């Protein structure tokens, strides 16, 4: 287990949130800092996962950002791809369980009571948060409360023995591999499997593609920030995704089952589960 540096300056979660601008990037950065990883481009690309995947109100952006940090650390920690995948999914499972225990839900819209797709709602929420000095913001309050728990969950999951005697697959990693992503990028999203940690929530492959496309966009547009609203690339991704799922976003409904272990998830993929959807997303 990695030993914590007692002399390391602790980041203030509220200030980090304000500086980063989105909950997804803030949690990605907070955990990266704990693991001594520096990933500004990858963190910036996670902005569009705020608001519950491109403002759709699904899993809180803190979970997507946290799972990305976990995946990247797992890539650094394990030489074996199967072990790294299993560790990332395992730690992400602890992460989402911790979040649900603290918040009572994992969905952004349930926590904020905001329809992020409406710009007016976004502006009102932002202005109210600033006017109140962040004191009454559910997001700023929660990130301050939950960050120590998120760090504990991530460290616990990544430190457990991960010997894997059979192929270990993540739908999120597989779709990025099909897109030609590096091993690091594809393993960074591994914890998205089954809707983050096999939770059965909104599709992890969808979020993986959105994150990766924004990462690639950032490389082509240095210094620029992709639009959170009416983003043409994200619209195209969602259009393709919805056309193959009947506009359903939840993993357990798309796959018709809830995965209890990473081996079940891997077997499902090996037997062709979600193959058409993954191939369609990979073509984007």
The pLDDT, as a whole number, for residue 1 is 43
> Taking a C-beta distance cutoff of 8 angstroms, is the pair 60, 108 a contact?
yes
Residue range(s) defining the domain that contains residue 216: 13-282
State phi, psi for 250 to the nearest 5 degrees: -80, 130
DSSP class of residue 193 equals T
Q: Look at the alpha carbons of 116, 121, 122, 126 in this order and tell me if their dihedral is positive or negative.
A: negative
Q: How many domains does the chain have?
A: 1
Tokens of 246: 């009947």
Distance CA 107, CA 187 (A): 24
Phi then psi dihedrals of residue 202, to 5 deg: -55, 140
The count of other CB atoms within 10 Å of the CB of residue 274 is 20
Question: Residue 157 falls within a domain, yes or no?
Answer: yes
Residues in the chain, pLDDT under 50: 1-2
Residue 6 counted as domain residue: no
Distance from C-alpha of 95 to C-alpha of 241, rounded to nearest angstrom: 26
Q: Give the up-direction half-sphere exposure of residue 89: CA atoms within 13 A in the CB hemisphere.
A: 31
């Amino acid at each position: 287990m990695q030993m914590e540096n007692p002399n390391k300056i602790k980041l203030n979660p509220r200030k980090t949130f304000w500086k980063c601008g989105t909950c997804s990037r803030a949690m990605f950065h907070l955990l990266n800092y704990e693991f001594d990883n520096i990933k500004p481009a990858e963190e910036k690309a996670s902005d569009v996962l705020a608001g519950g995947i491109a403002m759709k109100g699904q899993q809180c952006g803190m979970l997507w950002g946290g799972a990305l940090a976990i995946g990247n650390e797992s890539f650094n920690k394990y030489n074996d791809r199967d072990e790294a995948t299993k560790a990332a999914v395992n730690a992400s499972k602890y992460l989402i369980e911790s979040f649900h225990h603290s918040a009572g839900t994992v969905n952004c819209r349930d926590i904020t009571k905001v329809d992020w797709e409406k710009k007016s709602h976004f502006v009102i929420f932002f202005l109210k948060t600033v006017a109140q000095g962040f004191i009454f913001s559910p997001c700023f309050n929660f990130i301050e409360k939950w960050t120590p728990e998120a760090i504990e969950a991530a460290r616990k999951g990544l430190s457990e023995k991960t010997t894997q005697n059979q192929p270990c697959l993540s739908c999120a990693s597989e779709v990025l591999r099909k897109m030609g992503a590096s091993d690091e990028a594809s393993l960074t999203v591994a914890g998205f499997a089954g809707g983050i940690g096999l939770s059965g929530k909104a599709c992890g492959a969808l979020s993986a593609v959105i994150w990766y496309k924004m990462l690639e966009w950032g490389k082509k547009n240095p210094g620029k920030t992709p639009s959170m609203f009416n983003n043409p690339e994200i619209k195209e991704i969602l259009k393709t995704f919805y056309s193959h799922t009947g506009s359903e976003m939840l993993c357990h409904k798309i796959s018709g089952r809830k995965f209890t272990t990473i081996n079940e998830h891997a077997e499902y993929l090996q037997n062709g589960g979600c193959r058409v959807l993954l191939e369609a997303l990979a073509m984007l």
